Amino acid sequence: MKIAILSGKGGTGKTFVATNLARSSDSSIYLDCDVEEPNGHLFLNGPLLSTSKVSLPIPRVDTTLCDGCKKCVEFCRFNALAFVQKQVIVFDKICHSCGGCKLVCPQDAIYEIEREIGQVESRVYKNTKVYTGRLLPGEESGTAIIGSLLDKVGEGDPLVIIDAPPGSACVVMDSIKDADYCILVAEPSIFGSHNLKMVHELVKMFKKPHAVVLNKSLGDDNPSKAYCIENNIKILTDIPFNKELGKLNAEGKLVVEYDENFKAVFKDLLDKVLKEVKHEASPNT
Amino acid sequence: MKQVLILSGKGGTGKTTLASSLIKISSARAFADCDVDAPNLHLVMEQTKEAKKTDFYGLDVARINQDKCISCDLCRQNCRFDAIKVNGGYSVDYYACEGCAVCTLVCPTDAIDMKGRITGNLSLYKNDTVFSTAELLMGSGNSGLLVTQVKKDLIKNTDASLAIIDGSPGIGCPVIASISGVDMVLLVTEPTLSGFSDMERIVQTSRGFPAKVVVCINKYDLHKENSDKIEKFCQDKKLDFVGKIPFDKAAVSLVNDGLTLVDKEGKSKEAIKGIYENIINLLYGEEKI
């Protein structure tokens, strides 16, 4: 079973919910798909067991074969190729690795090499397998790294927690596409509710069963809560703002390991989610 | 025009809260929101006039003419983005398609063509001030192109001497597009292990550009020890440290009322004033001498 945690807005507590939820089960797999800024391993900080490179194919031109027809340059929709001083040059970071230039070249002068764009790290923390995707600084897109992370999960695997990136763009979609259930984490500001609306529309469009965790609540003024009530979205739990909790989190500590109360809150959250997924899987019962 | 871009790496450290406060305190006449994935600046920058709205066309998307398709499967075999779906007939997964047009190249019956697609919308508010912002449509990619357009729209519509630009979290495509051409990157971080770790990555990313990189800490008093570590890191890396803002319980309710941290007297306002003075000194310092 795969549960994705997303939020639209950054900093609402995706990683906080994802890591503590992963540790509320006897055994779990945690995938950090926020490959631009992965932080889950700071909490699930088992020793690094291995690192594998994630690469993309990019074109190179055999100058002895190239006759300067420029068909590749004209074909490339991403402007990743240019013809300068009678030579084709490749802008590696702009290339989308579609392979079009290689196909279009009448001289067979284009071949591909692998270019590293990031890594997948694997760790084990207690009974949780932790996979972290990491985009190299200066690289534009982590889509391929998210793909490698999702490949780590097999069919019969136990609980899989997917920590998604912020926003509602293509990388978020990639992260949640295999998920059985989505938890939307929202904070009590108009920023939080505005971005909650964006991801809510995303999960609805992909017909993903979903519910909300309200985090850092401060009393009654909570536009995100109001949004949930207005739109009939189930609120799984409401976690009030708490300086102590903030301190533990700031230090990279899992609250379920330090606070009996939170241990119960997350256990309860997991039970609710598991029940919801079961319910979704067999709507007739 | 000097352009100051606010970034953070980690989300939720207070980019928009700081951006809106700096816009108010500096009476900036030009500002933009480059966080096209989740734009929020417009929520606290009330505008009297309607925005001029424009559709933004991203990369084209492929479409298959069913009458011409002979189900040869070549498009599916050659698509590197897994965007050709076979379900009864052949079709294109709108969200997976990156618009490379390889399918049109390999199709033996010319059944596939490329069609324009709207991936976002731009809003330009032109009053005494100019405010450029945009929203990427759900699930769209290539937000960098849209970010570049937001900045172009701002620059060509103003003669202001200072522009304040709110950025997006992360280090990828929209962030890289937003840094290009700015004079200063103001990083706002928070005293958590995550905030610190993400700051190191955004510092690395920003340093590939000529912009000056400066740092401030938001909610610094929630963990003073971590804040000290961040300040020390800035010293070691020779990054200008421009100030720290205390945690303010009133921040959320101010934002919810469409206000900024400088609309209320107190420590936060003082801190932001200090940050503003520091960045102005760093921006114009050399010219003054």
A167 vs B12: CB contact, 8 Å cut-off? Answer: no
Instruction: Give contacts of B230 with chain A, Cβ < 8 Å.
Output: none
Same domain, A136 and A258: yes
CB of B12 less than 8 A from some CB of A: yes
Contact B43, B232 (CB under 8 A): no
What global pTM score does this model have? 0.93
Structure tokens at A127: 């009974």
Dihedral angle over CA of A87, A88, A92, A98, nearest 10: -170
CB of B176 less than 8 A from some CB of A: yes
Instruction: Give contacts of A195 with chain B, Cβ < 8 Å.
Output: 38, 40
CB of A55 less than 8 A from some CB of B: no
Contact A214, A222 (CB under 8 A): yes
Contact A38, B37 (CB under 8 A): no
For B119, nearest residue in chain A (alpha carbons): A169
Same domain, A144 and A233: yes
Q: How far apart are CA A6 and CA A183, in angstroms?
A: 6
CB of B121 less than 8 A from some CB of A: no
User: Best of A5, A7, A20, A39 to disrupt the B interface by mutation (most B CBs within 10 Å)?
Assistant: A39
Contact A115, A58 (CB under 8 A): yes
ipTM: 0.91
User: Best of B102, B176, B187 to disrupt the A interface by mutation (most A CBs within 10 Å)?
Assistant: B102
Domain that holds residue A85: 63-108
For B220, nearest residue in chain A (alpha carbons): A250
Same domain, A145 and A247: yes
pLDDT tens for chain B, 289 residues: list them. Answer: 999 999 999 999 999 999 999 999 999 999 999 999 999 999 999 888 999 999 999 999 999 999 999 999 999 999 999 999 999 899 999 999 999 999 999 999 999 999 999 999 999 999 999 999 999 998 888 789 999 999 999 999 999 999 999 999 999 999 999 999 999 999 999 999 999 999 999 999 999 899 999 999 999 999 999 999 999 999 999 999 999 999 998 899 999 999 999 999 999 999 999 999 999 999 998 654 4
Same domain, A176 and A229: yes
Q: How far apart are CA B126 and CA A11, in angstroms?
A: 31
Q: Does domain B2-53+128-288 have CATH number 3.40.50.300?
A: yes
Same domain, A8 and A129: yes
Task: Give, for B105, the enclosing helix (H) or strand (E).
Answer: helix B102-106
Q: Residue ranges of the domains in chain B?
A: 2-53+128-288, 59-116
- The C-alpha of B49 sits at a distance from chain A's nearest C-alpha, in angstroms, of 21
Same domain, A7 and A32: yes
Q: Which of A231, A191, A219 is nearest to A10 (CA)?
A: A191
CB of B221 less than 8 A from some CB of A: no
Same domain, A38 and A158: yes
User: What is the DSSP code (8-state) at residue B137?
Assistant: P
Contact A21, A122 (CB under 8 A): no
Same domain, A133 and A191: yes
Same domain, A86 and A207: no
Buried b (16+ CB within 10 A) or exposed e, B253-275: bbbbeebbbbeeeeebbebbeeb
- In sequence order, what are the residues at sequence separation of 6 or more whose Cβ sits closer than 8 angstroms to the Cβ of residue A281? A180
pLDDT tens for chain A, 285 residues: list them. Answer: 999 999 999 999 999 999 999 999 999 999 999 999 999 999 999 999 999 999 999 999 999 999 999 999 999 999 999 999 999 999 998 999 999 999 999 999 999 999 999 999 999 999 999 999 999 999 989 999 999 999 999 877 789 999 999 998 889 999 999 999 999 999 999 999 999 999 999 999 999 999 999 999 988 889 999 999 999 999 999 999 998 999 999 999 999 999 999 999 999 999 999 999 988 777 554
Structure tokens at A48: 């690094």
CB of A39 less than 8 A from some CB of B: yes
Angle between helices B15-26 and B267-288 (to 10 degrees): 70
Q: Which of A203, A214, A207, A209 is nearest to A238 (CA)?
A: A214
The CA distances from residue B112 to A106, B75, B86, B90, B99, in Å, are 21, 9, 15, 10, 12
- In sequence order, what are the residues at sequence separation of 6 or more whose Cβ sits closer than 8 angstroms to the Cβ of residue A159? A1, A3, A22, A25, A27, A28, A29, A270
Report how many domains make up chain A.
Answer: 2
Query: With a CB-CB cutoff of 8 Å, which residues 124-153 of chain B face chain A?
Result: 136, 138-141, 143-144
CB of A189 less than 8 A from some CB of B: yes
Residue A74: CATH number of its domain: 3.30.70.20
One-letter amino acid at A248 equals: L
Q: Which of B257, B289, B262 is nearest to B275 (CA)?
A: B262
Tell me the fold of B59-116.
Alpha-Beta Plaits (3.30.70)
Q: How far apart are CA B33 and CA B151, in angstroms?
A: 9
B12 vs A190: CB contact, 8 Å cut-off? Answer: no
A12 vs B12: CB contact, 8 Å cut-off? Answer: yes
Same domain, A166 and A205: yes
Same domain, A40 and A129: yes
Residue A48: CATH number of its domain: 3.40.50.300
